[in-house]
């Protein structure tokens, strides 16, 4: 047989199944060795094709809708932000003898406005620190609502350090964002004043920050969001290395003591002393899985990773905790609406309701996790279904260009009593007894943030 003919035979086998290709190689091997070393390249090609299966194309990533009920996520963020600014007016601003206080919900809302402004500027190829975006209503409202509390030397009006409230630290995030945006040193100084609280924050025996002075030996999921990302950001701004070890410890403790492997969820709070009326006497945990508490927690985890050092050994565990938390949240999503329940694991129980703040927080946090590469795109269907649920089921058109976000839990906590005199005992009945309102800032802010994250898709 001539070498040319042998080459034709071998090449012809390339399209055959692996077994046939292998037999062709073996059958012609002696001829190749004796008469045509040049055919070895062909032989090697066929050997490789026998040993290596053809690559199977990766499945296409899930399709992501560009509009929801006729508008983009960013448009929905703008609509609700504009509506809320119009509703609130100057009610969040500090005034002599006024009623406004330094408040964590105002901090969340104003931070979402600054994120929205930044996204709009980036989409326009502009800097949010330059006109026209530096003069936008979102920046002006945030400067009024937060800046009106900040004195010339960074003192914060109505803030009381001695209460040791972790909630009070949350608005410091907006203060830092305004400092970066405007260069006004008052905001930087205010953040430093707030962060200094953690130097002497009361702690559990294991080193967990108390949620407040009056909440002795208690760690709440809420407090992780309020304090940890802010503390890390301050650590970068003020070159304080202790913030990293502080935050790593808080996350380790809250995960160890509140995570429930059976449901994949976290209990609202943990009493290290195991003596509170709401606490399980064996574990110290509260008794239910409140949606917004889990929302605070998962938002905290994605924000913490923005500031936690990439070379620190605890980072891998924090990322694993985020991924574990995300896996626990999705199975409790309502199949019909895409929303989540006030008490997460009891969707079919009488009285429970689909709640806006938890649903918006989950969508915002999961979407940011995907965008940052912390979570895989397998979460995209749950995210888009959740966002569609918010738009389709919880947004209400009030006319005249105004929109409202409905079914918001007004407040919930543990210990002491409600305004109506009911013990805040962490029971299922308690979580359903708190008022359900429209346009609570703890829901509006995450909804705006969710739109800015989905806009990246």
Cα angle for residues 219, 319, 440 (degrees, 5° grid) = 55
Asked if residue 133 and residue 206 are part of one domain, the reply reads yes
pLDDT tens sequence across 277-307 = 999 999 999 999 999 999 999 999 999 999 9
- Alpha carbons 67 and 56: distance in angstroms, whole number: 32
Ramachandran angles phi, psi of 159, nearest 5°: -80, 135
Q: What is the pLDDT of residues 162-187, one digit of tens each?
A: 999 999 999 999 999 999 999 999 99
pTM of the model: 0.87
Indicate the angle between helix axes 137-147 and 185-195, nearest 10 degrees. 50
Reduce the DSSP state of residue 150 to 3 states and report it. Answer: strand
**Same domain for 385 and 283:** yes
Residues serving a catalytic function are 222
Structure confidence at residue 164 (pLDDT): 98
Q: Please, which pLDDT band fits residue 56 given cuts at 50, 70 and 90?
A: low
In a domain, 337, yes or no: yes
22 and 135 inside one domain: no
Q: Mean pLDDT throughout 124-153?
A: 97
Answer yes or no: are the C-beta atoms of 156 and 218 closer than 8 Å: no
- Asked whether residue 64 is assigned to any structural domain, the reply reads no
Tell me the Ramachandran region of residue 248: left when phi exceeds 0, alpha when psi lies from -120 to 50, beta otherwise. Answer: alpha
**Do 288 and 212 reside in the same domain of the chain?**
yes
Distance CA 392, CA 384 (A): 12
pLDDT at 50 over 50: no
Q: For residue 393, is it within any domain?
A: yes
CA distances in angstroms from 34 to 8, 12, 25, 41, 43, listed in the order given: 18, 21, 14, 15, 14
154 and 46 in a single domain? The answer is: no
What pLDDT score was predicted for residue 119? 98
Rounding to the nearest 10 degrees, give the CA dihedral for residues 108, 111, 113, 116: -120
Cα separation, 211 vs 204, whole angstroms: 10
Q: Does residue 57 sit within a domain?
A: no
Mean pLDDT for 134-148 is: 98
pLDDT of residue 377 exceeding 50, the answer is yes
Same domain, 316 and 212: yes
pLDDT digits (tens, 9 = 90+) for 1-41: 444 444 444 444 444 444 334 444 445 455 444 545 554 44
- Does residue 330 sit in helix, strand or coil? helix
**Domain count within the chain:** 2
Alpha helices in 89-170 (DSSP H): 104-123, 137-147
Instruction: Give the pLDDT confidence score for residue 29 in this predicted structure.
Output: 52
Residue 60 has a pLDDT of 57
CA separation for the pair 427, 434 (Å, rounded): 12
- Write down the pLDDT at residue 318: 98
In a domain, 61, yes or no: no
Give the CATH number of the domain where residue 288 resides: 1.50.10.10
Position 64 confidence tier, pLDDT thresholds 50, 70, 90: confident
**Domain extent at residue 242:** 73-454
Q: Which residues contact 374 (CB under 8 A, 6 or more apart)?
A: 302, 305, 319, 322, 323
pLDDT at 348: 87
d(CA 145, CA 92) in angstroms, rounded, equals 5
Residue 340 lies in a domain: yes
Q: Considering the domain boundaries, does residue 66 fall inside one?
A: no
| 35 and 162 both lie in a single domain | no
Instruction: Judge if 216 and 130 occupy the same domain.
Output: yes
pLDDT exceeds cutoff 70 at 397: yes
Q: Is residue 60 part of a domain?
A: no
**Mean pLDDT calculated for residue range 32-60:** 48
Which pLDDT does position 11 carry in this prediction? 41
| 449 & 327 share domain | yes
- Do 112 and 20 share a structural domain? no
Query: What is residue 62's predicted lDDT score, i.e. its pLDDT?
Result: 60
**Is residue 9 located within the same domain as residue 116?**
no
| CA 411/CA 219 separation, integer angstroms | 18
Q: Residues 127, 276: one domain?
A: yes
């Amino acid at each position: 047989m001539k070498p040319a003919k042998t080459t034709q035979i071998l090449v012809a086998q390339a399209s055959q199944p692996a077994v046939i290709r292998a037999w062709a190689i073996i059958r012609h091997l002696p001829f190749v060795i004796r008469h045509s070393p040049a055919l070895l390249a062909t032989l090697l090609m066929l050997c490789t094709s026998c040993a290596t299966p053809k690559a199977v194309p990766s499945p296409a990533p899930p399709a992501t809708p560009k509009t929801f009920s006729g508008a983009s996520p960013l448009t929905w963020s703008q609509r609700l932000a504009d509506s809320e600014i119009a509703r609130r007016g100057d009610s969040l601003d500090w005034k002599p003898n006024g009623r406004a206080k330094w408040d964590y919900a105002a901090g969340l809302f104003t931070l979402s406005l600054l994120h929205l402004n930044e996204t709009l500027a980036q989409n326009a190829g502009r800097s949010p620190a330059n006109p026209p975006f530096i003069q936008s209503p979102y920046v002006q409202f945030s400067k009024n609502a937060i800046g009106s509390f900040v004195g010339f030397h960074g003192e914060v009006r109505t803030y009381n350090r001695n209460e040791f409230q972790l909630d009070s630290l949350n608005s410091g995030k907006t203060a830092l964002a305004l400092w970066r945006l405007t260069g006004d040193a008052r905001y930087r100084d205010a953040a430093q004043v707030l962060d200094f609280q953690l130097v002497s924050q009361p702690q559990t025996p294991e080193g967990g920050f108390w949620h407040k002075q009056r909440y002795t030996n208690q760690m709440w999921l809420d407090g992780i969001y309020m304090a940890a990302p802010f503390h890390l950001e301050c650590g970068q701004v003020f070159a304080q290395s202790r913030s990293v070890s502080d935050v790593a410890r808080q996350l380790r403790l809250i995960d160890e003591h509140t995570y429930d492997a059976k449901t994949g969820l976290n209990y609202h709070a943990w009493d290290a002393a195991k003596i509170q009326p709401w606490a399980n006497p064996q574990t110290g945990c509260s008794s239910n899985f409140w949606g917004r508490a889990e929302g605070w927690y998962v938002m905290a985890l994605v924000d913490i990773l923005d500031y936690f050092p990439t070379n620190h050994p605890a980072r891998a565990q924090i990322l694993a905790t985020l991924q574990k938390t995300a896996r626990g949240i999705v199975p409790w999503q309502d199949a019909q609406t895409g929303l989540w329940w006030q008490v997460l694991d009891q969707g079919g129980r009488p009285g429970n309701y689909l709640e806006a703040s938890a649903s918006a927080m989950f969508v915002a946090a999961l979407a940011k996790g995907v965008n940052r590469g912390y979570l895989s795109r397998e979460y995209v269907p749950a995210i888009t279904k959740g966002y569609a649920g918010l738009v389709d089921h919880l947004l209400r058109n009030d006319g005249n260009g105004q929109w409202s976000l409905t079914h918001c839990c007004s407040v919930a906590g543990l210990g002491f009593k409600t305004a109506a005199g009911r013990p805040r005992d962490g029971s299922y009945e308690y979580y359903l007894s708190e008022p359900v309102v429209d346009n609570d800032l703890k829901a509006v802010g995450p909804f705006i943030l969710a739109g800015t994250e989905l806009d990246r898709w």
